[in-house]
Amino acid sequence: MALTPEQLIATHKANLETLFGLTTKAFEGVEKIVELNVAASRAALTEAANHTQALLNVKDAQELLALQSSLFQPLAEKTAAYNRHLYNIATSTSTELSKTLEAKAGEFQQGFNNLVESTAKNAPAGSETAVAVMKSAVSAANNAFESVQKAVKQASDLAEANLKAVSATAASATQAAATSSRKS
C-alpha torsion sign, points 92, 97, 102, 104: positive
DSSP state for residue 58 in the 8-state scheme:
-
User: Residues 6 or more apart from 36 whose CB is under 8 A from it?
Assistant: 82, 85, 86, 89
What domain count does the chain have? 1
Question: Do 78 and 43 meet the contact criterion of CB atoms below 8 Å apart?
Answer: yes
What CA–CA distance (Å, rounded) separates 47 from 53?
10
pLDDT tens digits in sequence order for the chain, 184 residues long: 456 788 778 878 888 888 888 899 899 999 999 999 999 999 989 988 998 898 888 888 888 888 887 777 788 788 888 988 998 898 888 888 888 888 887 787 777 777 777 777 777 777 778 777 877 887 787 777 778 777 777 777 777 777 777 767 766 766 666 566 556 5
Query: Can you list the positions of beta strands (E) in the chain?
Result: none
Domain span including residue 67: 5-183
Phi-psi category of residue 126: left, alpha or beta, with phi > 0 → left and psi -120 to 50 → alpha: left
